């Protein structure tokens, strides 16, 4: 008997491939000097880090903010992860710091991510055309 949980809503592979292709094209338009093999394609986030965020902060979710370490260097794109909690008003809120700050202030902002193309699955259909493919196909993907 298969005990794996199915997470909903899942999306169709064809949709995911199209969305990823749309991102690669947009990224190349935003950063025309970037070669196709340098296009930021995704982020690797260890599951234990996501689980830790939920466990430590009683989070109901994790919000991911897109960020750049250096505004002129697209290779420094990052995701800042923030635990999300249900506030006293019932609305989901970023848990950035304790309600009563203590010195020194501890912020619950994390960058556990490792960007792809540094850490990628080149065989994934979401990666797009393989770097082993010819240059024309790479530029199209």
User: With contact defined as beta carbons under 8 Å apart, do 20 and 41 qualify?
Assistant: yes
CB atoms within 10 A of CB 27: 18
Confidence at residue 47, expressed as pLDDT on a 0 to 100 scale = 85
Instruction: Give the residues across from 93 on adjacent strands.
Output: 85
Q: What is the pLDDT of residue 22?
A: 93
What integer pLDDT is reported at residue 138 of this predicted model? 39
pLDDT in tens, the chain (141 residues): 555 666 667 888 999 999 999 999 999 998 898 888 888 888 888 888 888 887 767 888 888 898 888 888 888 888 888 889 898 899 999 988 877 766 667 788 888 778 887 778 888 888 887 554 533 343 444
Task: Give residue 87's pLDDT.
Answer: 87
CA angle (32 as vertex; 31, 36 as ends), nearest 5: 90
CA dihedral 140, 43, 33, 139 (to 10 degrees): -10
Q: How far is CA 76 from CA 9, 50, 51, 116, in A?
A: 30, 21, 25, 11
**96 membership: H or E segment, kind and range:** none
Interatomic CA distance for residues 32 and 57, integer angstroms: 40
- Two structure tokens written together for 106: 């501890």
Residues recorded for the chain: 141
- The residue to which tokens 């994790």 are assigned: 62
Record the tokens describing residue 53, joined without a space.
């965020």
């Amino acid at each position: 008997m298969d005990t794996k949980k199915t997470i909903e809503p899942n999306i169709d592979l064809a949709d995911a491939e199209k969305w990823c292709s749309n991102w690669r094209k947009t990224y190349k338009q935003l950063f025309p000097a970037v070669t196709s093999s340098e296009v930021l394609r995704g982020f690797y986030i260890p599951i234990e880090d996501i689980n830790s965020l939920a466990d430590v902060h009683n989070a109901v979710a994790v919000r991911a903010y897109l960020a750049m370490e250096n505004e002129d260097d697209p290779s420094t794109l990052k995701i800042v992860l923030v635990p999300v909690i249900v506030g006293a008003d019932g609305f989901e809120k970023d848990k950035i710091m304790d309600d009563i700050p203590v010195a020194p202030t501890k912020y619950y902002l994390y960058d556990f991510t490792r960007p792809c193309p540094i850490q990628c699955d080149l065989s994934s259909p979401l990666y797009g055309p393989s770097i082993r493919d010819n240059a024309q196909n790479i530029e199209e993907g």
